[in-house]
Amino acid sequence: MLKIGLTGGMGSGKTTVSKIFSVLGIPVFYADDAAKTIMNEDAGLKQSIINLFGQAAYMNNELNRKYIAGIAFNDKFKLEQLNALVHPVTIAAADEWMNAQTSSYVIKEAALMFESPAAASLDYVIGVYAPQHLRLQRVMNRDNTTREAVLARMHNQLDETIKMKLCDFVIINDEHTAVLPQVLALHKKFLEMAG
């Protein structure tokens, strides 16, 4: 079974692409969603996050994402500490999930593929590329936030050009190039490779 990573910057369209793979019958592991769940359910991790950010890190026993983001996205060291806590348990959860699948290939969708050791256990990585102005607009609309807030978050991710160069395949999602034929071509390629 092939293990395929899927990454891209905020607002690139990773989720759209992963949903197409899902419709094609390919299991998809959403690392960011899994991380949020684990941060709420893993008692040891919760305590480590409280130790790092204080009691306000959780409200009503739920992760206070806005509070943590307000600190982490403005303090690179805190962000690195948070990632050092969350990435290993999320990667372990993804590996366990992938090993339980029976399809020809699986997809692991993660924003931080190369910023963590997440890519190490994968056979190939697909990048989803969109120009920064489009990504900015999409995230501002999706999260109902300011340009400055989105840029601050983008600043903490690997440069998009570098990220795409590290990928084995790139899907262009620039509102001019059709995404579906690109996904179908990769789907066919992965089935052939796995077969």
The pLDDT score that the predictor gives to residue 157 is 78
State mean pLDDT over 89-108.
Answer: 95
Tokens of 128: 């989803």
Q: Work out the mean pLDDT of the chain and round it to a whole number.
A: 93
What is the spatial distance between Cα 57 and Cα 46, in angstroms, rounded to a whole number? 9
State mean pLDDT over 126-145.
Answer: 92
Distances (CA, A) of 38 to 29, 72, 152: 14, 18, 25
Task: Give, in degrees to the nearest 5, the angle at Cα 109 between 105 and 112.
Answer: 135
Determine contact, residues 97/29, Cβ cutoff 8 Å: yes
What is the spatial distance between Cα 29 and Cα 95, in angstroms, rounded to a whole number? 10
pLDDT in tens, 50-86: 999 999 999 999 999 989 988 998 888 999 999 999 9
Q: Is the domain 2-194 a CATH 3.40.50.300 member?
A: yes
pLDDT for residue 115 is more than 90: no
Spell out the domain ranges in the chain. 2-194
pLDDT for residue 33 is more than 80: yes
pLDDT in tens, 79-90: 999 999 999 999
